[in-house]
Amino acid sequence: MYNPAHFTLTDLSDLRRILEAYPLGMLVTHGPEGLDANHIPFVFDPQRGGCGTLTGHVARANPVWRQCREGADVLVVFRGVEGYISPSWYPSKHDTHRQVPTWNYEVVHAHGRLTVRDDETFVRGVVARLTRTHEAAEPSPWKMGDAPSDYLDAMLRAIVGIEIEITRLEGKAKLSQNKELRDRQGAVEALQARGQTGLSTAMRSGLPPVV
């Protein structure tokens, strides 16, 4: 990924924040038929391995788990906040007209090695962790025990577990850091007015506090 120094994310806490807040990763693999991409919700465990471990599952009908050799190098892309930035939001545009449209975003690339885990215990554990994480905010969280055992067993047989040992994390936050202060503030205010609070909050980091 092209990653100029002023956009590079190096703080491990920032990288982990994006992995955990935006867990739907794009798994990029290279098999016999070339490049393939699958969109999978992952569980990130920062304690396992040097850079952490990702676990998830794919449909048994998905050929990706058969086509990738054990230990294959893979890439998982996690996209954080993102959005269009109009040049009209920059005060300097109205002075010089030397601004153009752009797109701001956060992204993390997790490079790693893939292991297929086609066993019921592993798959059940992955589903349980995903469920606990994403049901936590519900007033009455769904539990695996809520489903009939025969139905749940059939559903679990229809998926295959995958595990990725992360070997390298690469992060980028393109948030108008290369713009002058008044232009960054103008873009933040425009985003807030349009309800894009996630991106505006990310862009506000490093700016003087609002008084």
Residue 183: which residues within 8 A CB-CB, separation 6 or more?
Answer: 89, 90, 91, 92, 93, 99, 176
Query: pTM here?
Result: 0.91
CATH class, range 8-79+103-175 = mainly beta
**Can you read off the two tokens belonging to residue 4?**
């100029």
Of 38, 37, 97, 32, which is closest to residue 68 (Cα–Cα)? 32
Of 172, 174, 170, 171, which is closest to residue 102 (Cα–Cα)? 174
Question: Up-side HSE of residue 121: CA atoms within 13 Å toward CB?
Answer: 0
- pLDDT tens for the 211 residues of the chain, in order: 999 999 999 999 999 999 999 999 999 999 888 999 999 999 999 989 889 999 999 999 999 999 988 899 999 999 999 999 999 999 987 888 788 999 999 999 999 999 999 999 999 999 999 999 999 999 999 999 999 999 999 999 999 999 999 999 999 999 999 999 999 999 999 999 999 999 999 999 867 565 4
Domain map (residue ranges) of the chain: 8-79+103-175
Give residue 166's identity as a one-letter amino acid code: I
Give residue 92's identity as a one-letter amino acid code: S
Which pLDDT score is estimated for 211? 42
